[in-house]
Amino acid sequence: MADSVLLDRFARKVDYLRLSVTDRCDFRCVYCMAEDMTFLPRQQILSLEEIFQVAQSFVALGTRKIRLTGGEPLVRSGIVGLCENIAALPGLRELCMTTNGSQLGKLAGPLFKAGVKRLNISLDSLDPQRFRELTRTGDLQQVIDGIDAAIAAGFVHTKLNCVVMQGRNDHEINDLVAFAIERGLDITFIEEMPLGSISEHSRKESFFSSDQVRARIAERYTLLSSTDSTNGPSRYWRIAEAPHSRIGFISPHSHNFCATCNRVRMTVEGRLLLCLGNEHSADLKAVLRDNPGQPQMLEDAIVKAMQLKPWSHDFRIDDDVQVVRFMNMTGG
Ligand code: SAM
Ligand code: SF4
């Protein structure tokens, strides 16, 4: 199976899996969760063993990159062991993780040793008060210490993720760029997506486009367009003043990246989502639990599910909830 390839009905090769390992989180970011979230009961979520089996089947079918996400992946107990097992799968090129950084102070070293290759760390503000407001519970210094622990542990090409909201953190864009440059990190600015219903701000009023972010950065730095690609939705720019850092933009509203989509996502309930912005899905938990010890059944279900992958999402900038899932359920 080493040269298996998963193709959807538009002949797009799917070789990237984003695996959500928990819907829980120690933060409650205003754009991601409601303040009083109800999380899934334990029996409804996949065990670590089941998550591993899904990873194993995807890699057998040609997946080359897996990103663990959530919720906050580092609040799931046993996460380091899961990383070690997935990283050792023959054929997998890269195991990555997206994290809020709060647990990296203690876990960066073990994750690096377990074989995690790259980290994306979310950081929306450098002001402790505002950071607390945006995350509702987060401690900025703990996250900065986590970022520094990741650098010290040996992680390279670490990327910061920042969701920009007009009137909430847009005035910090260049400070965040300077922070990334100081540490030799990349930084990606993300347009807020209409996932789940939120109450604290109007997504329409807070919308700040990638073009606006770029114009803001151009006030302080010389941006050079770049053909760099990670095969994902980010478009990258280099900074003349800081050759070691790149600036990425994820613009689901203003730039449609669906034609080159190579990814699928699995929720921690074992629901395989074929597109971030649509509900097309397949229930892998049922397949796993109805056919224990039969990886072929799981692989067949995955191959079949590729036929459900839609051509594109259609996010609009308004306050209507277009997808009822919150991002913590989806796995960002
Ligand atoms: N807890 C981890 C973290 O925050 O990095 C991983 C999961 S989080 C859902 C993954 C990414 O999705 C984060 O960078 C977060 O900022 C982003 N995100 C969450 N909700 C979003 C939304 N509605 N629109 C755009 N990005 C969102
Ligand atoms: Fe938690 Fe990440 Fe969602 Fe923030 S964005 S609430 S850190 S899952």
In the numeric block, which tokens belong to residue 101?
A: 């950084």
Q: Which of 65-79, 182-196, 261-275 is the least confident region?
A: 182-196
The atom number, within ligand 2, closest to the CA of 25 reads: 1
Question: With a 6 A CB cut-off, is 100 part of the ligand 2 pocket?
Answer: yes
| Ligand 2 close to Cβ of residue 143 (< 6 A) | no
Half-sphere exposure of 172 (CA within 13 A, CB side): 20
Burial classification of residue 27, based on how many CB atoms lie within 10 Å of its CB (0-12 exposed, 13-18 middle, 19 or more buried): buried
The DSSP string of 237-249 is EEETTEEEEEEEE
Give dist(CA 15, CA 311) in Å, integer.
Answer: 16
Tell the residue nearest (CA) to atom 20 of ligand 1. Answer: 32
The answer to whether residues 129 and 87 touch, using CB atoms and an 8 Å cutoff, is no
Angle at 281 between CA 320 and CA 203, to 5 degrees: 20
- If you measure from the C-alpha of residue 292 to the centroid of ligand 1, how many angstroms do you get, rounded to a whole number? 33
Q: Measure the N-to-C terminal CA separation of the chain; round to a whole number of Å.
A: 29
User: Phi-psi category of 231—alpha, beta or left, where left has phi over 0 and alpha has psi -120 to 50?
Assistant: left
Ligand 1, pocket-test mutation among 20, 29, 191, most atoms within 8 A of CB:
29
- 196 falls in which pLDDT band (50, 70, 90)? low
Instruction: Please tell me the pTM assigned to this model.
Output: 0.93
Q: What is the DSSP letter of 251?
A: -
CA distance 310 to 312: 6
Name the range with the highest mean pLDDT among 158-162, 252-256, 278-282, 322-326: 158-162
Distance CA 90, CA 60 (A): 9
Q: Is 113 in the pocket of ligand 2 (CB under 6 A)?
A: no
Per residue in 251-308, pLDDT (tens digit) is 877 666 788 889 999 999 999 999 877 778 999 999 999 999 999 999 999 999 999 9
Ligand 1, atom 25, lies closest to the CA of 192
Dump pLDDT digits (tens) for 91-149: 999 999 999 999 999 999 999 999 999 999 999 999 999 999 999 999 999 999 999 99
% pLDDT > 90, the chain: 77
| d(C-alpha 303, C-alpha 283), whole Å | 13
- Looking at the DSSP assignment, which residues form a beta bridge with residue 119? 97
Q: Residues 21, 68: contact at Cβ < 8 Å?
A: yes
User: Burial letters for 185-222: b for 16+ Cβ neighbours within 10 Å, e otherwise?
Assistant: bbbbbbbbbbbbebeebebeebbbbbebbbebbeeebe
Q: Which of 25-34, 84-93, 255-264 has the highest mean pLDDT?
A: 84-93
Structure tokens at 132: 């607390």
